[in-house]
A and B are shown apart, each in its own frame.
Chain A
């Protein structure tokens, strides 16, 4: 009888998604991989029905404490798509600015507090801080600058309350933005050091074979690195308007997960997130970011998911450049928002959350009440790819001792910064004996 081993991680996270990991493998290879999300369904799409369309950004912001702006952005764009409402360029710029703040907050938290300890051999950021206090302090300083942006534009840094369909409830006066400039510029210097530091980390070698290459999916905009707008494109030729999303992407239920798995109807698993954005849009990063990437020898196409930490750091730096550019060119809008007559309609939109493409669709009636809602978050889109990463990686790492193998599996999940694995340093893994099977 073949020697069979089972990797079980009972509790992957305490947050937006609660999940576990199960891997069964033997000398012949990996037999089963399941990323189990067991958090009960949260029914956001259901309980939004009957609510006013203006409430959508504030309700959906509550889905995530780390990327509420992403939910707000997809919600307002979808509602504006339904109502054919087009905010002026000044408001568009402010939306991009608050998104910069969220990218900085979210990415830096992941880089420093969650992912970096994996590479340096620490069980947590706290343990890492004892040996590398300067590194962690720098991370907190960078994040603080992102917080300041979100606080100014959103009213507070967690679950902001100032975003509305058509614009904002209040827009800042130019001096308020200028007051942030020095803090952002100082944090940008630290962000540049972060890029050099992440690029120096020891990365496990992992490249998929030609037959298993990722299909990267992201927004793409002709003139800017994508955040709020663009077509949905992929490395295998997909090029669609967000309004066509549901014709090309399908959600499937799997018995072991409460989160739907999203697949490309034509080809199956795909990857969204920083690597997808970067691989499809790297030429639209700021000139200074491109120069730095070139200086450190980081390629314009990255296929090793363990290097996603470098891509995140490049996106942080770009967010600072973009934020400073917007602040320098800011003109206060005449009105904080635009509005229009409500009518029965349907609208959809996709924006780039820190973790990847976030799709929203809403139907509203003549009174502006929501009649239907659909939300496809990035983590659900990446689930299948995370599982296939583990399936493909494990044969390369089976020689590792048990603890290292467990850590490598968790690290592979953290490459995606999924909400479900946000606290995976608390994981326990154990090998257990299956019926009649010999376990180590």
Chain B
């Protein structure tokens, strides 16, 4: 199976950097064996990046009633989309619209696991909130387990 892990968000805007941090952790573990794609805001690029692949998408969200660091896992092809609040630069689309656009164009991935991590501070230049940063390890472990379950060999490394 052809897997890619895609992060959305901006490293320099507080909790919006959670996706890239998860990617960093996965790169540490799997190195070049795993295709990790950092998307800084070009949602149309997603349609190319996930075409005919299995993907995990990691993004920050703001959800009323949820605490910073809460992790919501969704089936991107089946579950209704979360209302995300983006603070990064873009000119038009968010993840939900990218999925809808992919559906209209027949350009959806074969499988899409979405990890939405609740953030609270998206200020430019701010560090990740401690609870959000702590969630990165949990998300990375969950993705790693999925990869090992689904693919076996290539991702069965002895790295911690």
CA distance A157 to B87 in the complex (A): 19
Nearest residue in B to A423 (C-beta to C-beta)? B92
B142 within 8 A of partner (CB)? no
Closest CB of chain B to A102's CB: distance in Å?
12
Neighbour of B44 across the interface among A64, A109, A423, CB < 8 A: A109
In the bound complex, residues from chain B placing their C-beta under 8 Å from that of A425 are 92
A405 within 8 A of partner (CB)? no
In the bound complex, residues from chain A placing their C-beta under 8 Å from that of B124 are 42
CA distance A158 to B44 in the complex (A): 12
Residue pair B42, A158 in contact (C-beta under 8 Å): yes
Residue pair A158, B41 in contact (C-beta under 8 Å): yes
In the bound complex, residues from chain B placing their C-beta under 8 Å from that of A158 are 40-42
Residue pair B45, A113 in contact (C-beta under 8 Å): no
In the bound complex, residues from chain A placing their C-beta under 8 Å from that of B41 are 65, 158
Neighbour of A157 across the interface among B42, B88, B93, CB < 8 A: B42
Closest CB of chain A to B43's CB: distance in Å?
9
CA distance A113 to B47 in the complex (A): 14
Most buried by A among B47, B88, B89: B89
Instruction: Report A1-32 CB contacts with B as 1/0, cut-off 8 Å.
Output: 00000000000001110000000000000000
Residue pair A114, B91 in contact (C-beta under 8 Å): yes
Nearest residue in B to A144 (C-beta to C-beta)? B48
User: Which of under 10, 10 to 19, 20 to 34, or 35 or more describes the interface residues of A?
Assistant: 20 to 34
In the bound complex, residues from chain A placing their C-beta under 8 Å from that of B91 are 15, 65-66, 109-110, 113-114, 419, 422-423
Instruction: Report A181-208 CB contacts with B as 1/0, cut-off 8 Å.
Output: 0000000000000000000000000000
Residue pair A129, B88 in contact (C-beta under 8 Å): no
- A-contacting 9-mer, from B22-30, B73-81, B96-104: B96-104
Residue pair A140, B97 in contact (C-beta under 8 Å): no
A137 within 8 A of partner (CB)? yes
User: Which of under 10, 10 to 19, 20 to 34, or 35 or more describes the interface residues of B?
Assistant: 20 to 34
Neighbour of A65 across the interface among B40, B44, B105, CB < 8 A: B40
In the bound complex, residues from chain B placing their C-beta under 8 Å from that of A64 are 89
Residue pair A133, B100 in contact (C-beta under 8 Å): no
CA distance A314 to B44 in the complex (A): 22
Neighbour of B104 across the interface among A66, A126, A147, CB < 8 A: A126
Instruction: Report A118-136 CB contacts with B as 1/0, cut-off 8 Å.
Output: 0000001110011001001
Interface residues of B in 13-52 (CB under 8 A from A): 40-42, 44-45, 47-48
Neighbour of A113 across the interface among B86, B92, B105, CB < 8 A: B92
In the bound complex, residues from chain B placing their C-beta under 8 Å from that of A423 are 90-92
CA distance A149 to B87 in the complex (A): 27
CA distance A114 to B97 in the complex (A): 13
B64 within 8 A of partner (CB)? no
In the bound complex, residues from chain A placing their C-beta under 8 Å from that of B44 are 109, 113, 140, 143
CA distance A378 to B90 in the complex (A): 18
Neighbour of A15 across the interface among B42, B90, B104, B107, CB < 8 A: B90
Residue pair A133, B92 in contact (C-beta under 8 Å): no
CA distance A109 to B86 in the complex (A): 19
Contacts A109-B44, A124-B97, A126-B97 given; indicate if A422 touches B92 (C-beta within 8 A): yes
Closest CB of chain B to A432's CB: distance in Å?
26
In the bound complex, residues from chain B placing their C-beta under 8 Å from that of A110 are 91
CA distance A133 to B124 in the complex (A): 37
Closest CB of chain B to A312's CB: distance in Å?
13
Closest CB of chain B to A68's CB: distance in Å?
9
In the bound complex, residues from chain B placing their C-beta under 8 Å from that of A109 are 44, 91-92
CA distance A64 to B47 in the complex (A): 22
Additional A-B contacts beyond A114-B92, A423-B90 (19; CB < 8 A): A14-B86, A15-B89, A16-B89, A65-B41, A65-B88, A66-B89, A66-B91, A109-B44, A109-B92, A113-B91, A113-B92, A126-B97, A133-B106, A136-B104, A140-B105, A144-B48, A422-B90, A423-B91, A423-B92
Give me 23 A-to-B residue pairs in the complex whose CB atoms sit less than 8 angstroms apart, sorted by A's number: A14-B86, A14-B87, A64-B89, A65-B40, A65-B42, A66-B89, A109-B91, A110-B91, A113-B44, A113-B92, A124-B97, A125-B93, A125-B101, A129-B101, A129-B104, A136-B101, A147-B42, A147-B45, A157-B42, A159-B40, A422-B90, A422-B91, A423-B91
Chain A to chain B: the 10 pairs with minimum beta-carbon distance, closest first? A65-B89, A129-B104, A422-B91, A158-B40, A130-B104, A65-B41, A113-B92, A126-B100, A126-B101, A133-B105
The residues of B with any CB-CB pair to A shorter than 8 Å are 12, 40-42, 44-45, 47-48, 86-93, 97, 100-101, 104-107, 124
